[in-house]
């Protein structure tokens, strides 16, 4: 590693089987264009939360399809939803998003082997 940022936690020590399986599940939840867009729409919405009605309107997809994708994100612990009146309102769970970031973010100080 002679150039570029060094070393993200993923490159600090070999991942064990159990950790790798759990992280792969979390990554699969975000490895989809619609779910990435949903996540960014929810997180960037005024007040940090978005009504399912706003989300569905933004896509050329059926409501059940959007619901499926929201469920995947929710099951992965990346978003949480709360019903208020007619609609469910979603917000990001920052801790789980930050976990993904930490895996791939280089340390400021390179770690020697």
Q: Which residues bind a second copy (CB under 8 A)?
A: 1-8, 10-15, 17, 20-21, 23-24, 27-28, 30-37, 39-44, 46-48, 58, 91-95, 97-106, 113
Residue closer to a second copy, measured from CB, 32 or 86: 32
Residue 6 structure tokens = 């060094």
Q: Smallest gap, in angstroms, from Cβ of residue 62 to a second copy?
A: 18
Find residue 81's DSSP bridge partners: 90
Long-range contacts of 45-51 (CB under 8 A, 24+ apart): 48/91, 48/92, 49/89, 49/90, 49/91, 50/89, 50/90, 50/91, 51/87, 51/88, 51/89
In the complex, what is the shortest distance from the CB of residue 37 to a second copy, in angstroms, rounded to a whole number?
Answer: 5
Cβ 61 to a second copy shortest distance, Å: 12
Closest CB to a second copy among residues 13, 82: 13
Any idea which residue has 């933004």 for tokens?
A: 58
């Amino acid at each position: 590693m002679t150039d570029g940022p060094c070393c993200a936690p993923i490159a600090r020590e070999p991942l064990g089987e159990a950790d790798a399986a759990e992280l792969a599940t979390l990554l699969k939840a975000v490895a989809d264009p619609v779910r990435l867009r949903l996540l960014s729409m929810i997180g960037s919405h005024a007040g940090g939360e978005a009504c399912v009605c706003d989300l569905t309107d933004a896509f050329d997809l059926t409501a059940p399809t959007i619901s499926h994708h929201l469920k995947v994100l929710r099951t992965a612990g990346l978003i949480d939803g709360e019903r208020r009146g007619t609609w469910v309102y979603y917000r990001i769970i920052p801790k789980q998003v930050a976990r993904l970031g930490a895996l791939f973010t280089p340390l400021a100080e390179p770690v020697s082997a």
